[in-house]
Amino acid sequence: MSNILVCVDARGNVLQSISLELLTAARQLASQTGGQVEALVMGANPRALLASLGAADRILLVAHPNLAPYMPEAHLAALEAVVRERNPAVVLFAYNTAGLDLAPALALRTDRPLLAYCTKLAIKGGMLEAESHIYGGKLRAISTAKLPAVIAVMPGAFAESTVTDASSAELIDIQAPSKLGQLRTTFVSESAPAEGAVDITLADRIVCVGRGIKDKDGIETARQLAVALGAEIAGSRPVIDNGWLSKERQVGKSGRKVKPRLYLALGISGAPEHLEGMSGADLIIAINTDAKAPIFGTAHYGATCDLFDLMPALAEQLK
């Protein structure tokens, strides 16, 4: 019981970048346990991802038609079977939609402690120690847990591992559990953005507004700044929920994960759910009147001036 298992997150045979971050975290932990890094890929055609997972020592493949598209019941059944067979010291998940589905359920079914919101991990004295963001990122907590354990890692907490093919990794095909043929849930349909909708994940520059923008009229001022910058405008969840910007412009756990060269955060407090979506940006500049806002812990530069003084003055300078 020394290996570290990474639950690989893929959608439509496209590897999510958080999986590469989990492989980095797993490598750090494996160096402390003396074990190896195992990557678990579940899907109808899991071998389609082998070109990206060379950072793992061993790749576990579970293939079954009911593992695509993603359904929590199916993936949990396969995951539980693998964990009981392999008995890893730590199982690593992304703190995202799938991780929220699977990590707590796996911890309960296998009687393992669960630590979530994790940004740092270490094994000390045979115990797992984790640093986590709590209370919307305003506090950081240090927790310890006995091994084996289940961990949910905040996206952006670790650097991405190098994308290499799995030619040097050991491949192990694991038989899918019989439960996958007896599911109680069935995939019906999915909703996708309309064709022609903006894709902020491709934007080189983003001006993102949060609750501090106050109202819909403030959005127009921010939009003018975005035009002057040659940037796309985006919003945090409160802005989207209020209907001030369309859903495809949402940044965060329930929106899009972006990595622009420039990310200008206007009136955003910096809750973990939002940081998950933008912490990988090359340059983050935050503007917030609250000097203790968590966003300043992630930003490269910050200022506590009033948004409505800054935006028109900056737009004029850019012209």
* Domain CATH for 63: 3.40.50.620
Are 8 and 153 found together in one domain?
yes
pLDDT digits over 10-69, tens only?
887 788 888 999 999 999 999 999 999 999 999 999 998 888 898 999 999 999 999 999
Name residue 40's amino acid: L
Q: Determine if residue 242 is left, alpha or beta; phi over 0 gives left, psi from -120 to 50 gives alpha, anything else beta.
A: alpha
Using alpha carbons only, what angle is made at residue 280 by residues 216 and 277, rounded to the nearest 5 degrees? Answer: 40
3-state secondary structure of 179: helix
User: Which of these, 32, 51, 49, 33, lies nearest to 41 by C-alpha position?
Assistant: 49
Token look-up 């973990």 returns: 272
Are 269 and 123 found together in one domain?
no
Residue 281 within any structural domain of the chain: yes
Position 193 pLDDT exceeds 70: no
Are 138 and 244 found together in one domain?
no
What are residue 171's phi and psi, to 5 degrees? -105, 130
Residue 193 within any structural domain of the chain: no
**Quick one: pLDDT at residue 224?**
92
pLDDT digits over 235-280, tens only?
999 999 999 998 889 998 778 889 899 999 999 999 888 988 898 8
Are 11 and 154 found together in one domain?
yes
Of 149, 181, 213, which residue is a domain's last? 181
pLDDT digits over 155-172, tens only?
878 888 988 887 889 999
Are 11 and 109 found together in one domain?
yes
Are 176 and 204 found together in one domain?
no
Are 76 and 119 found together in one domain?
yes
Q: For the purposes of burial, counting CB atoms within 10 Å of the CB of 205, is it exposed (0-12), middle (13-18) or buried (19 or more)? A: middle
Residue 28 within any structural domain of the chain: yes
Are 159 and 251 found together in one domain?
no
**Quick one: pLDDT at residue 244?**
92
Residue 190 within any structural domain of the chain: no
| Predicted model pTM | 0.75
Residue range(s) defining the domain that contains residue 298: 200-318
Average pLDDT of the chain to the nearest whole number: 91
Position 137 pLDDT exceeds 70: no
Residue 301 within any structural domain of the chain: yes
Are 177 and 263 found together in one domain?
no
- Banded pLDDT at 135 (limits 50, 70, 90): confident
HSE (side-chain half, CA atoms, 13 Å) at 25 = 32
Residue 99 within any structural domain of the chain: yes
Residue 237 within any structural domain of the chain: yes
Are 37 and 124 found together in one domain?
yes
Span 275-300, average pLDDT: 91
Are 224 and 176 found together in one domain?
no
- Banded pLDDT at 133 (limits 50, 70, 90): confident
Are 140 and 107 found together in one domain?
yes
Residue 194 within any structural domain of the chain: no
How many domains would you assign to the chain? Answer: 2
